[in-house]
Amino acid sequence: MIKFILESYIFKRFFILSVVFVLLLIVAGKIFDKLWNSSTAIPIVTLKEVYSPPAGYDNFKSVKLKLVSKFKVAIEGNKKFKLKDKQGDLDFYDTVSVEYPGEEFDRTNKIFFRFEDTPNYDSIYLVIAKSEIPDTYFKQIFYSSVIVSTLNEFSDNADEFRIDDSKLVSHDLLVNNDTLINSVFDYFNSNIDNLGIAECGTNCQILMRICKDFGVPCRMINLQGGDIDQTGFYDMLGYPLHVVCEIYSSKQQKWYVVDPTFGFRFRHKNSSTYMNAVEISNNHTFLRGDEIYQDSILLTKRTLVGKDYFKYYENVVFTKPEWKNRYLRKLVSVFYGNFNYYLYLFSNNFPGIKNGFYYVGMKTFMYFFMLILYINAVLFLLLRRLFLVKKPKKYSEKA
C-alpha cells in the first residue's frame, strides 16, 4: 500500500510541488529581508513596559474583583487582607455582600479592608445604578484606594498574582535605598584604578556588577543616533552608539541614568528628581537641553561636549531577557530574521521600517499569500487528475 502511494501519479507531483513551495518560501523570505534592509525592534507604546519597578521593589497593593452572584462580590488580593468587621484570619481571598438601589437611583457600596502589615484601611466604592431596562443595573467602581488589577477574572495560578514576601527587600529599602546607591558610587570611586575601566560597554558591566553586590537594581540602556530616514538600533550605518546604565531609586520611585563612562547623572534644573533616559532624550529632542543639570558622581573621564553629548542619541533601546522557549525562538529567527524580539525601542521619530510589528505583519501576510497559492495549486492538481481519470474497461464493455 505504501509503495503504491509512493509510486502514484499524485504523490510524485505533490512531492515536487511541496519541494518547490518550500524553496520559494525560503527565497521569498530572504528577498523580503533584503528589501526591508533594516533590523527591527518592538516599539514602546507605553513607558510602563520598561519603567515599572524591579522585582523586589514592587510592593504595590492590588486586588481583583469578581461578581460571583447577584448580591456577592469576591475579592482576590496580591497580599493577605481582612475585611472590616468580619471574623476570621487574614487571607488572599474573601467575599462581601453588596446592596442594590431601592427607591433611589443608585446605591454606593463601601468596601473597607486592611492588608497584612498595614495599620490603615483601604476602600473600594462600588456603585450600583438602575438602568432604563427593568431588573438591569450598571455596576461601576467609583473610587478605589488600591489598584484594581482585573474585573470578573481571577488568576488561573494564584501564585503569579500574589506578592512573595521572601522576594521583597526590607521595608526601609522599599522607602529609600539611596544609602546603598551612594555606597555603590563610593566603592566605584575608591577602586577606580583597579576596576578595568575601558569603553562604555565594559564600564556599564562593571557598574552593574557593583550594584548587584550592594543589592541595587541596575540595568544597561542602549542609546542610538540616527536621522529621519534611519532611526533606530542599526549601528552598521555608522551613527553614534553609546551605552549607559539606569539604577532604581526607591526614594524617588523611578529609574534614572548613571553614565559610568563620563561619570554623570542628570536632573532638571528646577527639580531634585533625577531623569531617566527617555526624559533626557525628550528634553534634548524638544530643545530644552539647557534645562538639564548634570551631577559628576563617578571619577571617570569627562566628555568634551559636556551634557550636550546626549543630543546625539534620540533613540533609547531597552534589552529584554530572551525567550525561554528555545524552539519558538529558533522558529522566529528562521522565519523573521530581521525581528529583534528582545529589543524594545523608544523614539520620537520611529519610521515603519524599524517597527517590528510592521515587519512581522507584512512578512506574515506574504507567507499566508504564498500558502494560499500552494493550497490552490494542490487542489488544482487533484481536480485535474480526477477529470482525467478514465473508466475501467470492464465497466465500459458492460455499458
Q: DSSP string covering 253-306, please? A: TEEEEEETTTTEEEEETT-SSB--HHHHHHHHHTT-GGGEEEEE-S-S---TTG
Question: Given this model, what pLDDT does residue 227 score?
Answer: 55
- Cβ atoms of 218 and 211 closer than 8 Å: yes
Which cell is 284 given? 534634548
* Residue numbers of the chain with a pLDDT score lower than 70: 1-10, 226-239, 286-289, 302-308, 389-399
- Biggest alpha carbon distance in the chain? 105
Cβ–Cβ under 8 Å, residues 141 and 108: no
Return the pLDDT at 306. Answer: 60
**157 exposed, middle or buried (CB, 10 Å; 0-12, 13-18, 19+)?**
exposed
At 391 the pLDDT is 53
Q: For position 158, what pLDDT does the model report?
A: 86
pLDDT in tens, 333-376: 889 999 988 889 888 777 777 889 999 999 999 999 999 999 99
Q: Which three three-digit cell numbers place residue 10?
A: 499524485
Residue 330 CA to residue 318 CA, distance in Å, equals 21
What pLDDT is attached to residue 4?
47
Q: Is 170 helix (H, G, I), strand (E, B) or coil?
A: coil
